[in-house]
Amino acid sequence: MNSDRIYITGLNGTEKQGLGLYLKEEYGFDVISLNDEFNQNTFEYKIKIITEKIPNAKIVIATSFGAYLYLNSLITNNSNINVLLLSPVLGISFSQNGGRLPPNLSKFIKSIKSKGLNIPDNIKIISGSEDKICATENIDFFKKFYPHIEVNLIKNQGLL
């Protein structure tokens, strides 16, 4: 991987289909696939992999849990790049099976509250108003501490 454009998929995403394939083939993005092999690693190792890829990037697009991993990498990584987060996990997410706590959540929340995330100046979140993965309450909480983040909510849309 040596592109200045990186796409981090959502959980079980791949560069072989969907948005990962499209961004790779059409725009030359390097894709970090959160596939079975990647998911076998520890949370800390996943963050390490992402942190190693970011210094050369000019653009990062991340989806869902990939966005959560990217944001966690900003606890120790400083980058001022263009970032687009699609339906990012920003806290507890809900599905048909109930609530899910992502790993490292308490440290992530503490970092948000202390403004300890090195959030780039040019960052945008796109999600649906009915999204259970990226609940609007979580976006509101996040924006309270990082008001420069641009948010576009698509009405009556969302995952799950």
Q: How far apart are CA 57 and CA 126, in angstroms?
A: 20
What's the whole-number mean pLDDT along residues 133-157? 91
Q: How far apart are CA 115 and CA 109, in angstroms?
A: 10
Q: Is residue 160 part of a domain?
A: no
What span, in angstroms and rounded, lies between the C-alpha atoms of 78 and 75? 8
Banded pLDDT at 2 (limits 50, 70, 90): low
Kindly report the CATH number assigned to the domain that includes residue 88.
Answer: 3.40.50.1820
Alpha helices, DSSP H, located in the chain: 18-27, 36-39, 43-53, 64-73, 105-113, 136-145
Q: What percentage of the chain carries pLDDT values higher than 70?
A: 92
pTM of the model: 0.91
Q: pLDDT tens digit string along 10-60?
A: 999 999 999 999 999 999 999 999 999 999 999 999 999 999 988 889 999
Structural domains counted in the chain:
1
